[in-house]
Structure 1
Amino acid sequence: SVARGQDLPFVDGSFSAAWAMDTLAHVPNSRIHDVVSQLVRVTAPGAPIAVGLWSGDDDETLNLVDLEEPRRFLSHRSDPTVNRLFGEHGTVERFRTWPEDAGAESGPGADNTGRHYQFLIFRTPTP
Structure 2
Amino acid sequence: MIHLTIHLGHETQRCGPVQYRWMYPFERFMKKLKGYVRNKARPEGCIAECYLAEECMRFCSGYMKQVGALGSRHNRNEDIGDEMILGGHPFTVGELIDLSEEELQIAHRYVLYNSAAVEPYIE
Structure 1 length as normaliser, TM-score?
A: 0.18
Question: Whose strand fraction is larger, Structure 1's or Structure 2's?
Answer: 1
Between structure 1 and structure 2, the one with the greater Rg is 2
Question: Whose helix fraction is larger, Structure 1's or Structure 2's?
Answer: 2
Which structure would you say has the larger RCO, counting Cα contacts within 8 Å and 6 or more residues apart?
A: 1
